Amino acid sequence: MPLYNTMSAAERSEWIDKAGQQRLTLSFYAYAQIPDPQQFRDDLFRAWEPLAALGRIYVAHEGINAQMSVPAPQFNDFRDTLELYPFMQGIRLNVAIEQDNHSFLKLTVKVRHKIVADGLNDDSFDVTNKGIHLKAAEFNALMDDPNTIVVDFRNHYESEIGHFKGAITPDVETFRESLPIINEQLQAHKEDKNLLMYCTGGIRCEKASAYFKHQGFKNVYQLEGGIIEYARQVRDEGIESKFIGKNFVFDHRLGERITNDIIAKCHQCGTPCDVHTNCANEGCHLLFIQCEQCKAAFENCCSTECHETIHLSLAEQVERRKGIQNGNKIFRKGKSEQLIFKQSDHRNDQPLAQAEISVPVVVVPKRIKKLAIGKVQHYYAKSGIGVLQLEQGQLTSGETILIKGPTTGEMYIELTAFKVNGQDAEIAEPSQLITLPVPARVRLSDVVYRVF
């Protein structure tokens, strides 16, 4: 099995349409010690490729950071691949409130030095001494405290289309830039103010809150699950949204609407608009905000020069790009003198216009609570007996187990009579072999789960 994409983005898009399945866009992260990130990366690719899971995933010695798209029918199977790792058992999956089957078109799993480029020396402070996590209602309540300072730890192009009212929104292009700026700006308030921070899904705040506590800030709080989880709680619990506008996301959607308030402007004409696009000129690829009228007039380009360029022959375009940096370095994030309506140093707390919101129907398959506890070691075909290796936890008579594998499928068994190491028993302990009747064939390395 190749450990890389074998379809182009266009081929994958067509494949998704033909499959006709709803897909779920989701994100998750976990800080954990991973001894061999390359092996971890390869194992994840092997597990996810058969499930048609797509996305952009970074793994490092310090953990995993993932934004993904998974077919809804395979959602629980996908979750099972995570549960095999102790540090991801019970992990929160932030499911997007708006769905697009084409949010990701490739499965990209990369090994990085860090899962978030923060520029910090983790050995210089206790990264586990994090701020207090707050749910949506708690976050709202602390925002109302006059002694609270709210800080957005995202970048300028993210906060421009949506942010919490009254938040400090640094004019930065990277997370690492914001840390020293905020530290310097809030030096006088280390002890007398509540530092309340947030980001897209929570991962940036995990490290930032520990950093600011190390810098001497006494009262540090962070939004649990970030804006994505906040929006879900606001919707499900009928809570007031103190976030206004759209949440920028790092997939093909480039944003999901949280409220119907439009607080940004088209960077080309100034019309209220909060839709990002990338310049169609491959030698520019600037990320900027563009309304439908300018999109039609400039054909997805950010300037007259780029518009002229895309109509040149391919050879002429290549010639014009000579000397320009390639790859991600040309992906400039929304800053150019051509964009006269760009709001780099100002954020609107008042809406400029209203967008229509249709309530999305996002069906997340119900999860059966289960815990991986072992694997199948053998099957005796003539007698219909399976041998299971218990690797963790304890099993007792009367419990229900699930034996699951790609060929076996799902087999639920209520434990009534079984043997442990060849002797009749009612309790099994870790490292012991369990022998029991099974209704159908099981296979070596099928995973055994306890069902709650």
**What residues are labeled active site?**
199
In three-state form (DSSP H/G/I as H, E/B as E, the rest C), the secondary structure along 377-403 is: EEEECCCCEEEEEECCCCEECCCEEEE
The C-alpha atoms of residue 230 and residue 136 are separated, in whole angstroms, by: 5
What angle (nearest 5°) sits at the alpha carbon of residue 97, between those of residues 249 and 158?
A: 25
At 151, the amino acid letter reads V
Q: Is the distance from CB of 349 to CB of 338 less than 8 angstroms?
A: no
The C-alpha atoms of residue 147 and residue 303 are separated, in whole angstroms, by: 44
Q: Which helix (H) or strand (E) holds 211?
A: helix 203-214
Q: Is 378 helix (H, G, I), strand (E, B) or coil?
A: strand
Q: Is 335 exposed, middle or buried (0-12, 13-18, 19+ CB in 10 A)?
A: middle
Residue 278's nearest CA partner among 257, 259, 250 is 250
Q: Which helix (H) or strand (E) holds 44?
A: helix 37-48
Phi/psi of residue 297, each to 5°? -70, -40
At 220, the amino acid letter reads V
Quick one: how far is CA 290 from the chain centroid? Answer: 25
Residue 183's nearest CA partner among 202, 197, 163, 203 is 197
Q: What is the DSSP secondary-structure string of 69-85? A: EEEGGGHHHHHHHHHTS
